[in-house]
DNA sequence: TGTTGTTACGTAAGGCGTAAGCATG
DNA sequence: CATGCTTACGCCTTACGTAACAACA
């Protein structure tokens, strides 16, 4: 199970086509066909159904491993490259939408990305610094996917608030326990608010089901939908403005700063 | 950076010798030499100092990635194998020393292993089921290394207690906050008690430094040392017996059950 | 019949072993 | 001088591309 083969496998599933994947990877489609055949014979089971090209059950399972493996391979290379070579002159900062803290303003290149991509970006060296947000109990670290060992530091912790319509039974309350809202109607807005998946993970329940999905990073639009009663949304209190919202107990919004464990250029061995 | 090369790299560092690694892997030592040379030329930096054979700074960094990558590759293969083939007739259970819960007694093959090896064992399919222990806040999941996506379930949560000499100032107290003991003299007994590293992680401090290291899984010996005043030890209260010990607030000892995400034999596709 | 994946085959590169070379203790 | 890593070289395997083939729409 060569890493090379895994790379073409994920490309094929992403493209949904051998030939398009071949173009993307700079192979002939014959080579791609041979790669998949090699993988399938190695694992002893078909990984793709052809025409249309879709992963089988086994293929889907493999996909779940392949991504992290490739990220980690890239991370290993990136880390060593960074140890050996001179630090880059640019400084690219990756930020998840709600992690935009004042610190960022000084950077000369900022990229707003989904949370996972901030983590993988820092790991693979495409980002020099990452700022990710999420929810936790006060002063607990975030539960980030550990695709690679990264240096993490808490940067900010702010209270959370649930945005709700003015006529909601809980409106005007001093605070709420999130657990009491597990069965409410939620809006899943993973880019402009706390993703419900994080809520479930932090609370250990299976509640917090989405009545509605909201894509994009346009927070005002989300706030409008929530106050109009289409569902609840959980955000850092500072982003709610003057709208009707109830502070949340026990959990906070936390921002962490990610870098590679080795400082850039710190280990320039062999250079005199 | 072929996975094959990584495998021989870790073997060489573990053996501290090209030739011994070659024996272990079934290569000639020439091949091993070529593997390392290939890696070093690929990454553009020396990874090992020869005579004696020791990893360089870059090599140490690579090692940190190589292990997990290889585990995850094995996990991918194991998971697909298990989906495809019939479930094994034996049932091997891996247990970390303090995770020995009554459930285990029914199994026909039990293996007591360090915590990490239980996790990697389940991931790679050498274990059919794992029981791991650790400390957390009540009803929080354990912070396990995610070498692969595994199915996790809480099995037990029991109170923790600090074992201390009878004449200790805290002896006889109703309970203690662990944070108050961060600067005490601790015994690091990772196999027979809670490892101090876990304590630091759970409390977010850098305290809990070891005065003494205790290796092995012989709990009575550890208890004797702790009551004799050589340092504190943190254990599940049930294992302390009648000895002087003070219950701990906020944190509990938790045991989790690990299996592969797919049930053995569940996805036997293509079999009619 | 066109599009897309598979198979056959020739060439080129890579990987491993044998054996000679070379550095270090 | 002996041990242990490196280099040189030959063989064999593997991997890719071209091109013919097959299957599905």
Does strand C come within 7 Å of the CB of A192? no
Cβ–Cβ of A72/B68 closer than 8 Å? yes
pLDDT in tens, B200-235: 888 778 888 888 899 888 888 888 888 888 889 999
Query: B-contacting residues of A 155-214, CB under 8 Å?
Result: 204
Backbone angles phi, psi at A100, to 5 degrees: -70, 95
Is the pLDDT confidence value at A265 over 60?
A: no
Does strand D come within 7 Å of the CB of B17? yes
Transcribe A47-96 into DSSP letters.
-EETTTTEE-HHHHHHHHHHHHHHHHHHHHHHHHHHHHSPPPSS-EEEE-
What torsion, rounded to 10 degrees, do the Cα atoms B165, B167, B173, B178 define?
-50
Give the number of other CB atoms < 10 A from CB of residue A68.
23
Q: Which among B148, B204, B269 has CB closest to A56?
A: B269
What kind of fold does domain B159-249 have according to CATH?
A: D-Maltodextrin-Binding Protein; domain 2 (3.40.190)
Domain parsing of chain A, residue ranges: 3-84, 92-156, 159-249
User: What angle, 0 to 180 degrees and rounded to 10, lies between the N-to-C axes of helices A3-15 and A18-25?
Assistant: 120
The SS3 assignment for A259 reads strand
Token pair listed for A89: 């002159």
Model-level pTM? 0.87
Does strand C come within 7 Å of the CB of B41? no
Task: Give dist(CA B78, CA B257) in Å, integer.
Answer: 19
Q: What is the pLDDT of residue A182?
A: 84
**Are the C-beta atoms of residues A99 and A156 closer than 8 Å to each other?**
no
Residue of B nearest to A5 (CA): B2
Q: What is the pLDDT of residue A270?
A: 28
Q: Is B146 on the interface with A (CB under 8 A)?
A: yes
pLDDT in tens, A133-142: 999 988 888 9
Decide whether B3-84 matches B159-249 in CATH topology: no
Task: Give dist(CA B64, CA A261) in Å, integer.
Answer: 11
Q: Is A79 on the interface with B (CB under 8 A)?
A: yes
pLDDT band at A272; cut points 50, 70, 90: very low
Backbone angles phi, psi at A15, to 5 degrees: -80, -25
Does strand D come within 7 Å of the CB of B272? no
Convert A100-120 into a string of H (helix), E (strand) and C (coil).
CCHHHHHCCEEEECCHHHHHH
**Are the C-beta atoms of residues B131 and B95 closer than 8 Å to each other?**
yes
Q: Which among B3, B148, B269 has CB closest to A3?
A: B3
Q: Is A68 on the interface with B (CB under 8 A)?
A: yes
Q: Which among A61, A68, A80 has CB closest to B79?
A: A61
* CA A206, A208, A209, A214 torsion-angle sign: negative
pLDDT band at B263; cut points 50, 70, 90: low
Residue A96 to chain B, least CA–CA distance (Å): 22
pLDDT band at A217; cut points 50, 70, 90: confident
Q: Is B215 exposed, middle or buried (0-12, 13-18, 19+ CB in 10 A)?
A: exposed
pLDDT in tens, A58-67: 999 999 999 9
| Cβ-Cβ contacts under 8 Å for A33 (sequence gap 6 or more) | A18
What kind of fold does domain B3-84 have according to CATH?
A: Arc Repressor Mutant, subunit A (1.10.10)
Q: Is A145 on the interface with B (CB under 8 A)?
A: yes
């Amino acid at each position: 199970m060569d890493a090379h083969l895994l790379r073409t496998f994920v490309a094929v599933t992403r493209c949904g086509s051998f030939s398009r994947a071949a173009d993307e990877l700079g192979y002939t489609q014959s080579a791609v066909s041979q790669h998949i055949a090699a993988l399938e014979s190695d694992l002893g089971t078909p990984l793709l159904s052809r025409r249309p090209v879709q992963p089988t059950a086994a293929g889907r399972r493999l996909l779940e491993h392949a991504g992290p493996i490739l990220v980690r391979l890239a991370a290993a290379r990136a880390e060593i490259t960074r140890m050996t070579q001179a630090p880059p002159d640019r400084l690219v900062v990756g930020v998840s939408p709600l992690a935009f803290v004042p610190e960022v303003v000084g950077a000369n290149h900022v990229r707003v990305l989904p949370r996972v991509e901030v983590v993988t970006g820092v790991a693979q060296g495409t980002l020099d610094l990452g700022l990710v947000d999420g929810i936790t109990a006060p002063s607990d670290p975030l539960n980030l996917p550990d695709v690679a060992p990264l240096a993490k530091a808490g940067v900010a912790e702010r209270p959370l608030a649930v945005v709700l319509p003015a006529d909601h039974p809980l409106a005007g309350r001093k605070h709420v326990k999130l657990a009491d809202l597990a069965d409410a109607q939620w809006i899943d807005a993973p880019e402009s608010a706390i993703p419900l998946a994080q809520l479930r993970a932090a609370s250990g329940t299976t509640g917090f089901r989405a009545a509605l999905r909201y894509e994009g990073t346009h927070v005002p639009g989300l706030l409008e939908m929530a106050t109009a009663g289409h569902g609840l949304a959980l955000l850092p209190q500072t982003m709610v403005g003057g709208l009707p919202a109830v502070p949340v107990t026990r959990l906070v919004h936390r921002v962490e700063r990610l870098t590679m464990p080795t400082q850039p250029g710190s280990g320039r061995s062999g250079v005199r």
